[in-house]
Amino acid sequence: MAKTSICFPFLVFFTLISLTPPTTAESQQSPTYLGFVRNATEFPSEDYYDYVIVGGGTAGCPLAATLSQSHRVLLLERGSVPHGNPNLMTQEGFLHALTENDDFHSPAQSFTSEDGVPNARGRVLGGSSAINAGFYSRADQNFYARSGINWDLRIVNRSYEWVEKAIVFRPELKNWQSAVRDGLLEAGVDPYNGYSLDHLEGTKIGGSTFDLSGRRHSAADLLSYAKASNIQVAVYANVERVLLASAGSYYSGWRQSAIGVVYRDEIGGYHHAMVREKGEVVLSAGAIGSPQLLLLSGIGPRPYLSSWGIPVAHHLPNVGQFLYDNPRNGISIVPPVPLDHSLIQVVGITGSGAYLEAASNVVPFASLQRSVFIRASASPVYLTVATLMEKIIGPQSVGSLRLASTDVRVNPIVRFNYFSNPGDLERCVNGTRKIGDVLRSRSMEDFRFRQWYGGRDFRYVGPALPIDQSNDVLMGEFCRRTVSTIWHYHGGCLVGRVVDRNLRVMGIDSLRVVDGSVFTISPGTNPQATVLMLGRYFGMKMLRERTKHG
Ligand SMILES: Cc1cc2nc3c(=O)[nH]c(=O)nc-3n(C[C@H](O)[C@H](O)[C@H](O)COP(=O)(O)OP(=O)(O)OC[C@H]3O[C@@H](n4cnc5c(N)ncnc54)[C@H](O)[C@@H]3O)c2cc1C
Ligand SMILES: *[C@@H]1O[C@H](CO)[C@@H](O)[C@H](O)[C@H]1NC(C)=O
Ligand SMILES: *[C@@H]1O[C@H](CO)[C@@H](O)[C@H](O)[C@H]1NC(C)=O
Ligand SMILES: *[C@@H]1O[C@H](CO)[C@@H](O)[C@H](O)[C@H]1NC(C)=O
């Protein structure tokens, strides 16, 4: 695949200017859960728990909070807490957090796939829900049937509600999001469904984890539901490996069982977190982190592990395979009118394989002095880059992950093979064509510049759509050339291949994976609602299993 433009369209603009940190004052009240969060250095070198959860992310936090109702829980997170960091806690900080980067500490760990597309993963309590764009929309009904998980749909709904009453808000649309909503309807993405958290074909306003003052809420906030006397959260705790032991007898056969994990604190000290009888280790380290940890623990394809000198505990050929990322394509413009800052709030759910979304990022005028746009601009106080993008459903193109190092802190090598499946390219052609329809709508008139000859044109940042949008070949080339990520990568520990329908690692006792790595497709328009629900749902399920089996 051709080398692609860097992070188009969200980030292309920002490589040209210097970023000034957001000034929005973050309210300083500390959330209650901070009372049980401690630096990993303060933990004993060995301790026992009922549940050890690896990864304080989007699924890990609701899971830990739920299990703590009646069991002793340890949640291990490699990053820090998001509170107090304005880049994480405000909408305006979104791009700053993604560009602020250092190898082992920044809350967004960047990585570039072998496809050449820059990407990011959360490294902070709250996980990727603490660095994401905040859009919240439940899974489509097809997802439940296709996911391979044996859902009880009433408990699914109750789990969503549990999340939503704590961290989901109805956003207020400003000019760009309103115009996109109207443009989608003019372009035939109907009916209009108003504000809804459900997945409904047509155009709707979805939920947001940013509240009306622009403050972020994330999975970390769900720790407020935890029972403080039963939960401990260690930050700056890098889990290096799951500890396994053989159990059984000559007659019954031997089985491997997870008995704990080894983690390392910031000053290099080792700690053993062991599980008591009937306890479990749960990996919630995300689509990159969970397969990586299984491989480092000797659970994976035998020849591959041997090539790294990792002792093989259990041969499981599909660990790290079936990794997916949904391509994002679209356009960005600099409009003649000032725009408000917005992350995703409106979505167009088409019937032809693509979802359309939008964002607008305010850039202070002063920081544009050095940019290429200054001469051309009509000098508003703020300049904005407005983005219209599409994400395809699925995808069907399959990627994979492999280790770059046996050091868990080093990102694995990932490859997503965008558009290697022709159906994915067709969906992208459909989606980008729909973007063309929206751009031609009346609602977009105000965002075009008046030309000397009297016509009105958009001023693009980065590539425009091909002029002949009826040409499938040209549109397909545009998709390949401008491919970027919407950060919805998933898979790597697929249901049916690595874990069973109860998310237990196949062939190993007392070990589950509960996060986006088990998904075969990205749920709904954007996945975080479903991942948050999954954490709560499996917490409830594990509590019930414990009481049933004594
Ligand atoms: C920039 C960006 C924007 C996005 N925008 C949206 C959006 O607007 N709406 C939406 O629905 N979705 C969005 N997403 C996607 C969504 O946020 C993710 O799909 C979801 O958060 C993944 O959840 P998870 O629980 O699988 O993993 P994560 O939330 O990433 O959690 C994994 C956690 O495990 C920790 N961890 C990993 N390895 C270890 C280890 N060895 N030891 C200790 N801890 C470890 C990590 O630090 C992290 O906290 C976005 C994602 C990104 C990155
Ligand atoms: C965690 O504790 C260690 C040892 O006391 C210290 O060096 C480190 O700075 C602490 N980290 C944070 C972020 O507080
Ligand atoms: C779950 O909620 C959705 C609306 O979000 C509804 O359509 C569905 O019928 C509910 N399912 C159950 C089993 O209650
Ligand atoms: C693309 O759109 C066309 C026309 O709406 C539709 O027939 C086709 O099924 C769509 N392709 C995919 C892969 O959804």
Give the tens place of pLDDT for each residue, 129-146. Answer: 999 999 999 999 999 999
Q: Atom 12 in ligand 3: which residue has the minimum CA distance?
A: 154
Q: How far does the centroid of ligand 4 lie from the alpha carbon of residue 140, in Å? A: 18
Q: 442-474, pLDDT tens digit by residue?
A: 999 999 999 888 889 999 989 999 999 999 999
* Position 173 pLDDT exceeds 50: yes
- Residue 495 pLDDT class (50, 70, 90 cuts): very high
Residues 6+ apart with CB under 8 A from 522: 324, 326, 393, 394, 395, 488, 490
Lowest mean pLDDT across 63-72, 175-184, 540-549: 540-549
229-288: pLDDT as tens digits: 999 999 999 999 999 999 877 787 889 999 999 999 999 999 999 999 999 999 999 999
pLDDT at 380: 45
Per-residue pLDDT at 34 exceeds 90? no
pLDDT of amino acid 18:
37
Regarding the beta carbon of 154 and ligand 3, being less than 6 Å apart is answered yes
pLDDT at 172: 96
Calculate the average pLDDT of the chain: 91
Q: What is the pLDDT of residue 1?
A: 39
Tokens of 254: 């031997």
Show the DSSP H helices in 168-229 as ranges.
175-186
Tell whether the model's pLDDT for residue 360 goes beyond 50: yes
Instruction: Say whether 77 counts as a known binding-site residue.
Output: yes
Amino acid type, 134: G
Non-local CB neighbours of 22 within 8 Å, separated by 6+ positions: 86, 87, 90, 92, 93, 96
Q: Which of 131, 132, 264 to mutate to test the pocket of ligand 1 (most atoms within 8 A of CB)?
A: 132
Q: Is 39 in the pocket of ligand 2 (CB under 6 A)?
A: yes
- Four-point Cα dihedral 528, 534, 535, 539, nearest 10: 170
d(CA 485, CA 331): 14
| φ, ψ for residue 248, nearest 5 deg | 125, -155
Average the pLDDT over 492-515 and give the result. Answer: 98
Identify the pLDDT of residue 250.
79
Any atom of ligand 2 within 6 Å of the Cβ of 267: yes
**Helix or strand (DSSP H, E) at 276:** strand 270-283
Which one, of 93, 2, 12, 1, lies nearest residue 389 by Cα?
12
How does pLDDT run across 425-447, given as a tens digit for each residue?
999 999 999 999 999 999 999 99
If you compute the radius of gyration of the chain from its CA atoms, what whole number of angstroms results? 23
If you average pLDDT over residues 150-167, what whole number do you get? 98
Contact 223, 64 (CB under 8 A): yes
pLDDT at 56: 98
| Residue-level pLDDT at 338 | 85
| Cα-to-centroid distance, 270 and ligand 2 (Å) | 14
Tokens of 127: 């996980």
Residue 218, exposed/middle/buried by CB under 10 A (0-12, 13-18, 19+)? buried
d(CA 392, CA 353): 6
CA 157 to chain centre: 21
Q: How far apart are CA 440 and CA 447, in angstroms?
A: 11
Query: Are 435 and 428 in contact, with CB atoms under 8 Å apart?
Result: no
pLDDT band at 57 (very low <50, low <70, confident <90, very high): very high
pLDDT of residue 27: 43
Verify whether ligand 4 is closer than 6 Å to residue 426 (CB atom).
yes
Whole-prediction pTM value? 0.94
Residue 499 three-state SS: strand
Question: Could you say which ligand is closest to the alpha carbon of residue 428?
Answer: 4
180 vs 347, 434, 494, CA distance in Å? 9, 12, 36
Ligand 3 contact, 198 CB (< 6 A): yes
Confidence at 363, pLDDT banded by 50, 70, 90: low
Considering only CA atoms, which residue is closest to atom 6 of ligand 3? 157
Question: Can you give the pLDDT at residue 282?
Answer: 99
Confirm whether 488 is a catalytic residue.
Answer: yes
Of 312, 310, 299, 326, nearest to 498 by C-alpha is 299
